[in-house]
């Protein structure tokens, strides 16, 4: 029994119902099936603090398109969802709530009580982004949803830490790290964003000991760190300072004697050639300090204030201290000069605060040994980046990678599984909580307070979510390695690289074979969306207004791998119109259906063979583009086929049969219309799942496609069929359509009303083709009668002009129409003459303006160029009108 489609498609009334139907019937579940190949995607886990933004929407849409496509291709498809505990972001969020609502800090509660609050917050708000993803149609296996601090995933984290520690790949040491004074924690190199900022280069005079009036002048962008200077370095090849090497100078303000050393690190061309050495506050100085045994004195505390080593400046914020120090140096005559200077400043990727390099005791992962295999699998093509250019970015980073600082001074996260013995100092590292020191058996042991970098746990995501480290896990054995990672280029270093080297080290296999990189979603002006600019667009608001399908289709058709895209809300309106076009076409079909199934008829007309052959051509093209991750191209091909071939042409071509008296012809047309629509809905489904599923549920089924209540999302992906390839008929129909288009265009140019009919003479070598096309020319091109002749029999140009015939040329035919049958010649001639006169006067004024040196020399170049373009367009228009007038 066929269903009626409502007159108007209302996404808000459809989407929730369809999604609930899918979930209720287990359509998203990933099942192990020995008869199928697995296809696995792990979702980049959004932060539990997260709220869906347009970047999430695009990332989720691309993954959903791929998983729906592979599911329909017959794979055992699994899309693993989940969320990340987001150490810094979540802790800051809960601390802010605590301070705002109760006036308390985490220290007021203590670690245990504070963590209870964080878990409460996570349980209350942590699934918000999951519900938002569902609204966009994400077909994840939600029953497998994981959280980076789940019991199993936490066990995997401990296992990896202990394994790396025992292999000597994790160590604790005092090294220079990036420190955020606002988040009050160490950061990895990947968490530091560099911004070009205006600043100054201050030239300071350090007195040479025992040589009154002589100074070595150092240039610095951070004078507040001079309080911790323990040396000055010069290049050993610098002739200016040869006699200073081995001497000492006096550190101003601190009156500390510091050595002058020679080191090739010093750039002869930069600044003065003398460089102040602050080993505790600069990574390069730290290395120079190690080579020359310089003392390391830290003068800034964890909050960016001067500590007890800063003398009278203790307690001042680093930038306040800078002002006071510069004033004091100037008062002493030791500030030589100040220059403007543009330089790269490292900032915290989460809060934007200037990062402070400091020496700190932290935990590190040795990266050089791990990078080798991670480089090999990419260089050998076991892991491919799409587009390939990102493999070069990855390779460059991995070849120059530094040891990874993995400890964070937070409470929320995976607490480092290391216990220090107060009696012997030994560190016990264990997967289970020890009760005594493994070295001296003392019970006096204390666990590290720091937690692991959030990326340490998410680096294990592709395999920890599938049951690893239990390598007997059936899911791990079947679904791992995963297939495709979909992510933005902005986290290649944060996450992609770490997953690859972690997987290679711990499972012996790369975590996936393809990294599908997409760009950022920017606003319509090309700016990055941000709270500070106030230009963010809520995808849920767009989905509510235009439908989730329209939003999804907008995101994918504007997308090409690796490139940023601009988001235009107006395009969502266009995509909603596309959805309405499909809906109206489906509704038209339903209103004309008398058949119970969509099997193809035995007899096919020319137009039937054309549409089936077009469909047969587009199926492998779409499939190939999907396999190559050119999802935007695939979507555009489906769009063009539906809008142009099916809706604008084929439905119109079949109307005479649908509305005629020949019952057999009517049924045949219905069967082809229905077959093509059902196959097209399958092609469109990954992109617009809600609309296509709703229409599918109303249509008659093809034989063997399932039963009442089956789901489009579980149908078989369309395949090329040799028996539906009709290249000759397709070519013939295209010739007829070309002629119809050309006639319609000429009629529009001449303002001929659609109701006006005229007799046609078609001169062509393809006489049989155009004879078969006479009914279409009559109905779709406005012909009252059609005579088909060979080119030999058709009128010449002179004969056509003399007879007052309009000549319309395509590459296969010439169509001659008596002009008098199309227009009132006198009225049309008068209209064209009037329009020609108007535009001629306009061009004369514009030419006079452009020939005036006063305008050309004084007006902005862009204005002059615009006027020239307008003049060129007017000349083309005048030429066209002149030709029309000549034809009369």
- Where along the chain do the CATH 3.30.2320 domains lie? 732-822
Alpha-carbon span 513 to 586, nearest angstrom = 40
**What band does 832 get if pLDDT is binned at 50, 70 and 90?**
confident
Q: DSSP alpha helices (H): ranges in 304-419?
A: 318-331, 367-379, 389-399
pLDDT tens, residue by residue, 677-691: 999 999 999 999 999
For the segment 225-246, the average pLDDT, to the nearest whole number, is: 94
Q: Phi/psi at 386 (nearest 5 deg)?
A: -120, 115
Contact 445, 420 (CB under 8 A): yes
Q: DSSP alpha helices (H): ranges in 712-773?
A: 727-749, 767-772
pLDDT for 2 beyond 60: no
pLDDT tens, residue by residue, 694-705: 999 998 876 555
For the segment 433-459, the average pLDDT, to the nearest whole number, is: 95
pLDDT for 558 beyond 80: no
Of the candidate ranges 199-208, 498-507, 630-639, 744-753, the one whose mean pLDDT is the lowest: 744-753
**What band does 706 get if pLDDT is binned at 50, 70 and 90?**
very low
Q: What is the pLDDT at residue 587?
A: 95
Rg (CA), the chain: 37
pLDDT tens, residue by residue, 786-820: 999 999 998 888 888 888 888 888 989 999 998 87
Strand 256-262 to 248-251 pairing:
antiparallel
pLDDT for 398 beyond 60: yes
For the segment 863-877, the average pLDDT, to the nearest whole number, is: 87
For the segment 756-778, the average pLDDT, to the nearest whole number, is: 95
Alpha-carbon span 38 to 79, nearest angstrom = 11
Contacts of 463 (CB under 8 A, 6+ apart): 156, 476, 480, 503, 506, 507, 511
Residue whose pair of structure tokens reads 């918000």 in the numeric block: 128
Alpha-carbon span 455 to 69, nearest angstrom = 30
**What band does 708 get if pLDDT is binned at 50, 70 and 90?**
very low
**What band does 533 get if pLDDT is binned at 50, 70 and 90?**
confident
For the segment 824-829, the average pLDDT, to the nearest whole number, is: 71
Q: What is the pLDDT at residue 574?
A: 95
Nearest to 515, CA basis, from 42, 5, 55, 15: 42
pLDDT tens, residue by residue, 144-183: 999 999 999 999 999 999 999 999 999 999 888 889 988 8
pLDDT for 271 beyond 90: no
Alpha-carbon span 164 to 520, nearest angstrom = 35
For the segment 632-661, the average pLDDT, to the nearest whole number, is: 95
pLDDT tens, residue by residue, 289-307: 999 999 999 999 999 999 9
For the segment 252-281, the average pLDDT, to the nearest whole number, is: 92
**What band does 707 get if pLDDT is binned at 50, 70 and 90?**
very low
pLDDT for 732 beyond 50: yes
- Where along the chain do the CATH 1.10.287 domains lie? 826-887
- Structure tokens that stand for 816 in this block: 């001659």
For the segment 273-288, the average pLDDT, to the nearest whole number, is: 93
Nearest to 628, CA basis, from 197, 66, 63, 19: 66
CATH topology of domain 826-887: Helix Hairpins (1.10.287)
Residue whose pair of structure tokens reads 């209350």 in the numeric block: 124
Alpha-carbon separation of residue 605 from 675, 727, 734 (angstroms): 15, 14, 14
Q: What is the pLDDT at residue 704?
A: 52
Contacts of 154 (CB under 8 A, 6+ apart): 414, 457
pLDDT for 847 beyond 60: yes
Between 212 and 708, residue with greater pLDDT: 212
Q: What is the pLDDT at residue 703?
A: 56
**What band does 88 get if pLDDT is binned at 50, 70 and 90?**
confident
Given the candidates 1.10.730.10, 1.20.58.1690, 2.60.320.10, 3.40.190.10, the CATH classification of the domain at 568-725 is 1.10.730.10
Q: How many residues does the chain have?
A: 888
Q: What is the pLDDT at residue 853?
A: 87
Between 392 and 858, residue with greater pLDDT: 392
pLDDT tens, residue by residue, 462-494: 999 999 999 899 999 999 999 999 999 988 888
For the segment 503-514, the average pLDDT, to the nearest whole number, is: 97
CATH number 1.10.10 given to 732-822: no
Q: What is the pLDDT at residue 888?
A: 63
Given the candidates 3.40.50.300, 3.90.740.10, 1.10.220.110, 3.40.50.720, the CATH classification of the domain at 198-346 is 3.90.740.10
**What band does 880 get if pLDDT is binned at 50, 70 and 90?**
confident
pLDDT tens, residue by residue, 28-59: 999 999 999 999 999 999 988 878 889 899 99
Alpha-carbon span 321 to 336, nearest angstrom = 19
Q: What is the mean pLDDT of the chain?
A: 92
For the segment 858-875, the average pLDDT, to the nearest whole number, is: 86
Of the candidate ranges 102-116, 459-473, 594-608, 797-811, the one whose mean pLDDT is the lowest: 797-811
pLDDT tens, residue by residue, 310-330: 999 999 999 999 999 999 999
């Amino acid at each position: 029994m066929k269903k009626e489609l409502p007159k108007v498609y209302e996404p808000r009334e459809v989407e929730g119902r369809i999604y609930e139907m899918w979930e209720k019937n287990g359509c998203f579940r990933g099942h192990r099936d020995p008869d199928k190949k697995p296809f696995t995607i792990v979702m980049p886990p959004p932060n539990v603090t997260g709220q869906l933004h347009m970047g999430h929407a695009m990332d989720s849409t691309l993954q959903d398109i791929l998983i729906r496509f592979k599911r329909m291709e017959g794979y055992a498809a699994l899309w693993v969802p989940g969320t990340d505990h987001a150490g810094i972001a979540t802790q800051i969020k809960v601390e802010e709530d605590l301070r705002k609502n109760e006036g308390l800090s985490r220290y007021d509660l203590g670690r245990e009580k504070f963590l209870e609050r964080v878990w409460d917050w996570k349980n209350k708000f942590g699934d918000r982004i999951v519900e938002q993803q569902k609204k966009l149609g994400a077909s994840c296996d939600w029953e497998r949803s994981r959280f980076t601090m789940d019991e199993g995933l936490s066990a995997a984290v401990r296992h990896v830490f202990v394994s790396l520690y025992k292999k000597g790949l994790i160590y604790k040491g005092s090294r220079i790290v990036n420190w955020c004074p606002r988040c009050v924690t160490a950061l990895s190199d990947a968490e530091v964003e560099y911004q070009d900022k205006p600043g100054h280069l201050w030239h300071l005079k350090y007195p040479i000991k025992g040589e009154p009036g002589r100074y070595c002048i150092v240039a610095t962008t951070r004078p507040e760190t001079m309080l911790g200077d323990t040396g000055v370095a010069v290049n050993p090849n610098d002739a200016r300072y040869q006699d200073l090497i081995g001497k000492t100078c006096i550190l101003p303000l601190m009156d500390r004697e510091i050595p002058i050393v020679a080191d090739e690190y010093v750039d002869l061309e930069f600044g003065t050639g003398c460089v102040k050495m602050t080993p505790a506050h600069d990574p390069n100085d730290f290395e120079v300090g190690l080579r020359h045994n310089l003392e390391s004195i830290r003068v800034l505390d964890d909050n960016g204030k001067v500590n007890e080593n800063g003398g009278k400046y203790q307690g001042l914020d680093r930038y306040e201290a800078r002002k006071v120090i510069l004033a004091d140096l100037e008062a002493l005559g030791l500030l030589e000069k100040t220059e403007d200077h543009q330089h790269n400043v490292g900032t915290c990727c989460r809060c934007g605060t200037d990062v402070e390099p400091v020496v700190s005791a932290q935990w590190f992962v040795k990266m050089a040994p791990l990078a080798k295999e991670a480089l090999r699998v990419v260089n050998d093509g076991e892991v491919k980046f799409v587009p390939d250019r990102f493999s070069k970015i990855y390779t460059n980073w991995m070849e120059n990678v530094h040891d990874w600082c993995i400890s964070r001074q937070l409470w929320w996260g995976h607490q480092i599984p290391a216990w220090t013995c107060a009696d012997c100092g030994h560190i016990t590292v264990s997967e289970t909580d020890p009760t005594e020191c493994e070295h001296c058996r003392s019970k006096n042991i204390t666990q590290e307070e720091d937690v692991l970098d959030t990326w340490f746990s998410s680096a294990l995501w592709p395999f920890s979510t599938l049951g690893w480290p239990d390598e007997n896990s059936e899911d791990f054995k079947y679904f791992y390695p995963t297939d495709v990672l979909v992510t933005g280029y902005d986290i290649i270093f944060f996450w992609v690289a770490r997953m690859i080297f972690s997987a290679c080290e711990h499972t012996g296999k790369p975590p996936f074979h393809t990294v599908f990189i997409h760009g950022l979603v920017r606003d319509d002006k090309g700016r990055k969306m941000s709270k500070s600019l106030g230009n963010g667009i809520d995808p849920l608001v767009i989905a509510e207004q235009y439908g989730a399908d329209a939003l999804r289709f907008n995101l994918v058709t504007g997308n090409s791998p690796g490139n940023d895209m601009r988001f235009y809300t107006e395009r969502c309106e266009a995509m909603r119109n596309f959805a309405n076009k499909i809906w109206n076409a489906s509704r038209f079909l339903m209103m004309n259906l008398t058949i119970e199934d969509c099997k193809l008829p035995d007899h096919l007309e020319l137009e039937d063979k054309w549409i089936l052959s077009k469909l047969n051509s587009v199926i492998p093209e779409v499939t190939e583009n999907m396999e190559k991750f050119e999802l935007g191209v695939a979507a555009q091909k489906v769009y063009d086929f539906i809008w142009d071939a099916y809706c604008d042409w084929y439905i119109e071509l079949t109307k005479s049969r649908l509305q005629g008296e020949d019952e057999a012809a009517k049924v045949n047309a219905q069967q082809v219309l229905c077959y093509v629509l059902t196959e097209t809905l399958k092609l469109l489904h990954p992109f617009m799942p809600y609309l296509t599923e709703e229409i599918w549920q109303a249509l008659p089924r093809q034989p063997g496609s399932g039963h009442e209540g089956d789901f489009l999302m579980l149908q078989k992906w369309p395949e090329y069929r040799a028996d539906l390839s009709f290249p000759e008929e397709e070519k013939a129909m295209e010739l007829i359509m070309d002629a119809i288009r050309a006639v319609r265009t000429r009629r529009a140019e001449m303002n001929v009303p659609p109701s006006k009919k005229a007799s046609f003479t078609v001169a062509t070598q393809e006489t049989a083709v155009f004879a078969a096309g006479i009914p279409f020319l009559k109905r779709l091109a406005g012909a009252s009668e059609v005579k088909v002749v060979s080119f030999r029999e058709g009128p010449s140009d002179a004969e056509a002009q003399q007879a007052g015939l309009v000549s319309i040329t395509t590459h296969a035919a010439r169509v001659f129409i008596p002009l008098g049958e199309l227009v009132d010649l006198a009225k049309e001639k008068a209209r064209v003459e009037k329009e020609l006169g108007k535009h001629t006067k306009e061009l004369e004024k514009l030419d006079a303006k452009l020939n005036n040196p006063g305008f050309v020399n004084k007006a902005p170049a862009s204005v002059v160029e615009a006027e020239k373009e307008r003049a060129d367009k007017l000349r083309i228009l005048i030429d066209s009108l002149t030709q029309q007038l000549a034809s009369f």
